[in-house]
Structure 1
Amino acid sequence: MSSTSFSGSAPSHIDLRQVDIAPDFWYPLAWSDDLKRGQTIGRRFGKEPIALVRPREGAVFALEDRCAHRQVPLSKGRVEGESVQCCYHGWAYGRSGRCIDVPYLGKGKLPNGVRTYPCQEAGGMVFIFPGDPAKAEAVPLPPLAQVDNPAFKTRRFSPMVKCHYTFMHENLMDMNHQFLHRRQMGQIRARFMGQDQGENFIEARYSFARIGKQQPLAERLIFGKHHDNPNRAQPVEEIVSVRTTYPYQSLHIHDKDGDLIMELFSVYVPNSADGMSSQNFGLLSVLRPKTPFLIDLIWPALGVFTNRIFEEDREIMEMEQRAWNEQGGDRNVEVFPVVKKLRDLLMRCGVPHSDGSVAVHQQPRDETLKRHEALSDA
């Protein structure tokens, strides 16, 4: 992926779905327990294939997943000591990416190696830094929900969604889409409570007002029973804040006393060369209720509930991507100011598409019709 970002604000005519995610950040590619000792697995960051290698001793490392010899995946090879041997001819590469052995050559005739990526583990995930490696030490990892806080129980998820990563940011940021989840959550209405923004973030705050009697059991057990009183001047339900701090996204739920009761961390990692498919790595931390073991009893129900919600989101976002594909560009008519600002942030912080092409934004149909009508009247 290109590391050349848009300078200042990106041109308004650029199609957001043709803006790549910026590589100079830490991105998870796998869960730590997916990578056993003495094993290697293959993953992707955009168009870049990456082999994650866990030697029998020492830390995980990450290499370009192509042998310099015949370009076959190193992730199909064998881990030997602190190196990985290509499955084809046995060429070996260490954690520096340098070729350290070709079995049928002398030690003084070794060819060049492969690209290596800064790599570290945190929160049960294996992170790589796909951008400029000289910047890696200065760039911190994002806050990973409450994964290390024993007062919370954390669920992890990593579904693949066949859409551009920006659709996923927009989906979570715009809580007005709760109508989509009416079968799972009942009749609720999101109330927009305000926003904050800065150079690299945008945050929106909401409360949810329940306008029907249906409430999921897992939600009721964790957060209590909710009602909506239209005559109440201020809502007493939890405040939900959604924040994109580029390139990560988080959601926090605070109760009426201001205490944190739920936190979500999510990042969307492009895993295809065209950027139209993303791997979502998420951590959902829920405050343990005062009743001992209650969270463990309701955890399976919460998992079913959240899975159903995400499946509805996945289906709708993939529909959006298909519409983009069929229409040859973005014809969305966005009216919510927060989402407009989010789109500006994603555009400004992103980089031009890695193949050098950036699609031009197409006018929505209603704007095109208005222009044609104006010309006809003239």
Structure 2
Amino acid sequence: MTETGFDGARELAADTGGGRPEARREPGDLRRVGANPDHWYPLARSRSVRPGRVLPAVFAGERLALFRGRSGAVYALEDRCAHRQVPLSMGVVEGETLRCCYHAWAYRGDGRISQIPYLSRGDGRPPRGVRGYPVREAYGLVFVFPGDPEKAAVTELPDLPAFGAPAYRTMTFSRTVRCHYSFMHENLLDMNHQFLHRGVVGRIRPELLGYTTGPRSVEARYLFTHSGGKRNRGASLLSAGDIRGSDSADLLTIRTEYPYQTLDLVQEGAERPAFRLWAAYVPEDAEQRRCHAYGLLMIEKPRIPGALHLAWPLIRRFTERVFAEDRMAVEAEQRAWDEQGEDRNHEVFPLILDVREVLRANGVPLRPPAAAPGCGQVQ
């Protein structure tokens, strides 16, 4: 995450004209590319996984059961009992184990079976258990590693230095959006859609100053000029309590660093961002046409003590309204894909063509949908 100032951004604009020509060939339908599971994905807010309770979660059609043991540690297990396949999310937490609600089989946090109450030692051979997933808690979220567990130890969590910093206060978002996760990346990176938010932010003229592309990332720098129109009070308060007139300018740095996204807004003349956004889009269903968006909005505290606390409800209302408009647009894009059965977008913005290539190159093929019982069988 960079903090390039206005002068630095203008200099970079002269050096970076965009991405690679070969990245614009659109070799396949991005909406048929799945999210790579070999990363840390937030699957719940920490406060939602209460002590002694079980919370169902999902990643790309894989059902998980999250539970917090007596020690405070959070565990993630495959959400099925190895005995009769009843969901473990219906179970009971006892100490550091999760007991199935049906026959009371007990599972450790790694998925191994620790007890079958009615089975004496030596009577039969119990199954190995169920899959246990690596778990970490950070930034008020529960991160799970759904991919190769051997890669979890060498894969870093996102680095968010503003979270918990004295100069910032964090607002957390958690919403389901009915679209492929790639639509969310494109929406945030392509700031030319500000006409969609005209009723909230007024008239904004976005200017792409330049962008850079790498194997796993795309970073764009925009100059936002507010040139009039009615501006929501929450929008002004979000910019560190600055209530300015028209013709003000902000520098936005937006970055997709697979699989996450960040956005920094720096006001002209400021030394640090007025706010910093981190977002992750976690696919829910196996076909990945629905995702759960987690966002951490870290807002700079104004000089006046307590001012941000008073402004918090207005800022929340503003951000929710902007998100609702974005969700309306991306869900409409997904409906069009569903109706047409393919991606018929005619994208002309080189920046978005490049981020599509990054998402395609780092993603994985979607698994074909499971056939219904009896399908394809000769009678």
Q: TM range, normalised to the smaller chain?
A: 0.7 to 0.9
1:244 equivalenced with 2:256 (yes/no): yes
What amino acid is the match of 2:244?
K
* Paired amino acid for 2:213: Q
Q: Report which stretch shifted further, 12-21 or 117-126.
A: 12-21
Which residue in 2 is equivalent to 1:350? Answer: 363
Counterpart of 1:199 in structure 2 is: 215
* Shift in Å, 1:189: 1.5
The one-letter amino acid of 1:114's match is V
Q: Distance in 2 between matches of 1:248 and 1:144?
A: 12
Query: 1:57 and 2:76 equivalent?
Result: no
1:76 to 90, 107, 112: 90
5+ residue gaps, structure 1 = 1-7, 229-235, 358-378
Instruction: Give yes or no for the alignment of 1:141 onto 2:148.
Output: no
| 1:95-114 paired onto structure 2 within 5 Å | 95-108=109-122, 109-114=125-130
**Which residue in 1 is equivalent to 2:33?**
19
1:337 has 2:350 as partner: yes
Measured after TM superposition, the shift of residue 71 of structure 1 is: 1.2
User: Given residue 315 of structure 1, which amino acid in structure 2 is its aligned partner?
Assistant: M
Partner SS, residue 199 of structure 1: coil
Question: 1:10, 1:347 within 8 Å by CA — same for their partners in 2?
Answer: no
Q: Which residue of 2 aligns with 1:153?
A: 169
What do the CA deviations read for 1:58-104 (whole angstroms, capped 9, x no partner)?
41111101111111110110001211011111111101211111112
> 2:185 is paired with a residue of what secondary structure?
helix
**Partner SS for 1:159:** strand
Aligned length: 343
Question: Contact between 1:38 and 1:55, CA under 8 Å: does it hold in 2?
Answer: yes
In 1, Cα distance between the equivalents of 2:335 and 2:298?
Answer: 32
The answer to whether 1:263 aligns with 2:282 is no
2:336 is aligned with 1:314:
no
Q: Deviations along 1:22-73, whole A, 9 cap, x unmatched?
A: 0110001001110111111110000110111101224111110111111111
CA separation of 1:238/1:145 partners in 2, compared to 1, >3 Å: closer, same or farther? farther
Q: Residue 242 of structure 2 corresponds to which residue in structure 1?
A: 223
User: Deviation string for 1:247-285 (max 9, x for gaps)?
Assistant: 000000112234221100000000112111000011001
Aligned-partner Cα distance in 1 for 2:232–2:217: 32
The residue identity in structure 2 corresponding to 1:249 is Q
Deviations 1:343-372 (A, max 9, x none): 000000000012289xxxxxxxxxxxxxxx
In the aligned structure 2, how far is the partner of 1:313 from the partner of 1:264?
A: 15
Does the 8 A contact of 1:24 with 1:135 survive in 2? yes
Is 1:36 matched up with 2:50?
yes
Partners in 1 of 2:340 and 2:160 — Cα distance? 37
Native 8 Å contact 1:20 1:353 kept in 2: yes
Structure 1 residue matching 2:246: 3-state secondary structure: coil
**Structure 1 vs Structure 2: percent identity of aligned residues?**
47
Equivalent position SS for 1:239 = strand
Alignment of 1:173-188 (within 5 A): 173-188=189-204
Could you tell me which amino acid in structure 2 is paired with residue 50 of structure 1?
L
Using the TM superposition, give the Cα deviation of residue 193 of structure 1 relative to its aligned residue in structure 2, in angstroms.
1.0
> Larger deviation: 100-109 or 286-295?
100-109
Q: How many angstroms apart in 2 are the aligned matches of 1:283 and 1:308? A: 16
Whole-Å separation in 2 of the counterparts to 1:65 and 1:262? 38
Alignment partner of 1:278 out of 286, 291, 304: 291
- In the aligned structure 2, how far is the partner of 1:10 from the partner of 1:33? 43
Whether contact under 8 Å (1:56, 1:81) holds in the other structure is: yes
* TM-score normalized with structure 1 length: 0.87
Runs of 4+ in 1 over 6 A off after TM superposition: 8-11
Is the contact made by 2:226 and 2:249 (CA closer than 8 Å) also made in structure 1?
no
Checking the alignment, whether the CA contact within 8 Å between 2:23 and 2:354 is kept in structure 1 is no
**How much does 1:188 deviate?**
1.2
Aligned mate of 2:339, from 326, 338, 354: 326
The residue type paired with residue 175 of structure 2 is: P
Counterpart of 2:311 in structure 1 is 298
TM-score (norm 2): 0.87
Aligned partners of 1:25 and 1:130 also within 8 Å: yes
C-alpha separation in 1, matches of 2:227 and 2:159: 34
**Contact map agreement 1:52 1:75 (CA 8 A) in 2:** yes
How far has the Cα of 1:226 moved from its partner?
4.1
C-alpha contact 1:101 1:107 (8 A) present in aligned 2: no
Write the letter of the residue equivalent to 1:276.
R
- Counterpart CA distance in 1 for 2:223 and 2:85 is 53
User: Could you tell me which residue of structure 2 aligns to residue 233 of structure 1?
Assistant: none
